[in-house]
Amino acid sequence: MFCRSLQRNQAKLVGEPKVDYGAENGIIDIAVKSRDEKISISITDYGKGFSHEDLQKSKQQFYRGDKSRNSPNHFGIGLYIADQVAKQNQGNLSLSNCTHHPGAEVEISIPIN
């Protein structure tokens, strides 16, 4: 079952690190779509994107990726929690690198019914 507060909290878990770790200007794009009985939130930044290792491990609990960018304010649990909540709601969290500009994209899809 879709829950607006859950979706909002997932976007916050995913979006805050993207502002901190994205390009220097901190700009992110957020797109919300409803299609085929699902709602999707896509958050894109303009940073360096995910490394190959990040794409494989970023949904693991406590994974923090690039050690030079680790911050005491981030614990490597945001994507893990968002992924777990998506799964509990028959949804999906996917990670990718942008194809039309440098940067990373995180998409959360959850059924509306």
pLDDT surpasses 70 at 30:
yes
| 48 DSSP assignment | S
Task: Return the domain boundaries, the chain.
Answer: 4-111
pLDDT surpasses 60 at 93:
yes
pLDDT surpasses 80 at 71:
no
Under the banding of pLDDT at 50, 70 and 90, the label for residue 40 is very high
pLDDT surpasses 90 at 5:
no
Average pLDDT of every residue of the chain = 82
Record the tokens describing residue 55, joined without a space. 């794409």
Indicate the fold that domain 4-111 takes in CATH. Answer: Heat Shock Protein 90 (3.30.565)
State the Cα–Cα distance between residues 95 and 42, nearest whole angstrom: 10
Give the pTM. 0.75
| 58 DSSP assignment | T
Q: How far is CA 78 from CA 22, 46, 83, 100, in A?
A: 15, 19, 9, 26
Record the tokens describing residue 66, joined without a space. 């690039």
Q: What is the pLDDT of residue 113?
A: 77
pLDDT surpasses 60 at 13:
no
State the Cα–Cα distance between residues 102 and 80, nearest whole angstrom: 24
Q: Mean pLDDT lowest for which of 23-37, 64-78, 86-100?
A: 64-78
User: Per mean pLDDT, which of 65-74, 75-84, 85-94 is the most reliable?
Assistant: 85-94
Q: Is 72 left (phi over 0), alpha (psi -120 to 50) or beta?
A: alpha
If we measure between CA atoms, which residue out of 112, 82, 109, 100 comes closest to residue 29? Answer: 100
